Amino acid sequence: KYVIEIENIEKNYQVGTQVVRALRGVTTKIERGDYVAIMGPSGSGKSTLMNIIGALDTPSAGTYILNNHNVSQLTDDHLAEIRNREIGFVFQTFNLLHQYSALENVMLPLVYGGVPKAERIEKAKEALSKVGLEDRMTHKPNELSGGQRQRVAVARALINNPSIILADEPTGNLDSKTSIDIMRLFNEIHSGGNTIILVTHEEDIAQHAHRILRFRDGEIERDERNADITAMV
């Protein structure tokens, strides 16, 4: 039932002689297929939590169970493997490789997974069609609009069929109309059964989610469930 189980997670950063307590005992569970927004002021621990959920970093204390695997204290190699298999990342700045076409960008995660080339192309085409870019496959990022670039990034995030899509301010670099298009795309992906966790500063973006975790000073200050999610888009 739960894709994520987090129990009393703490994260400390040592800065010189000072210890920064970025997360001060965070406990939560996220159901498979849920759609969660993480909000909170700058410095409240959102990125730190996303890095732990995304298996980019490990907590100083507490346990993190992802898909029934305890990933709290794995080695970097193990984390990388879990990350490639279980997590799809979407970033504010798209993080596409500019010298590669949309199709090649989307194929990349499969290269690391050792999938044969013909199959990589087939899957990447499928993913690009899913995000409405079937006629832009050979375009490079600088030949695409911001919204189209983010669609390529979403297709890349979906390609390995991850357990969770993690999106860090996915509309942060988009105008409001394009943001709405991208949020529609997230809604579709969520309707298809994917679990989505996104960080946003914008209340109207967060309202697309079904649940909002509000952070303050390294703790979950409020955990809200959106009752009325029918007329959001």
Pick 24 or 31: Cβ nearer ligand ADP: 24
CA torsion sign for 186, 190, 196, 198 is: positive
CA distance 136 to 155: 12
Part of the chain binding ligand ADP (CB under 6 A), chosen from 84-92, 123-131, 154-162, 221-229: 84-92
Part of the chain binding ligand ADP (CB under 6 A), chosen from 87-95, 130-138, 177-185, 188-196: 87-95
Pick 92 or 232: Cβ nearer ligand ADP: 92
Closest CA to 56 of 27, 19, 86, 83: 83
Closest CA to 111 of 130, 124, 125, 126: 124
Q: How far is the CB of 231 from ligand ADP (least distance, A)?
A: 30
CA distance 209 to 34: 8
Size of the site for ligand ADP (CB under 6 A): 20
Window 12 to 31, contacts with ligand ADP (CB under 6 A): 13, 15, 20, 22
Closest CA to 26 of 1, 52, 3, 56: 52
Number of helical (H) and strand (E) elements in the chain, helices listed first: 7, 10
Pick 33 or 43: Cβ nearer ligand ADP: 43
Q: Which of 51, 58, 178, 187 binds ligand ADP (CB under 6 A)?
A: 51
| Residues in contact with ligand ADP by the rule CB under 6 A | 13, 15, 20, 22, 40, 42-48, 51, 56, 89, 91-93, 95, 168
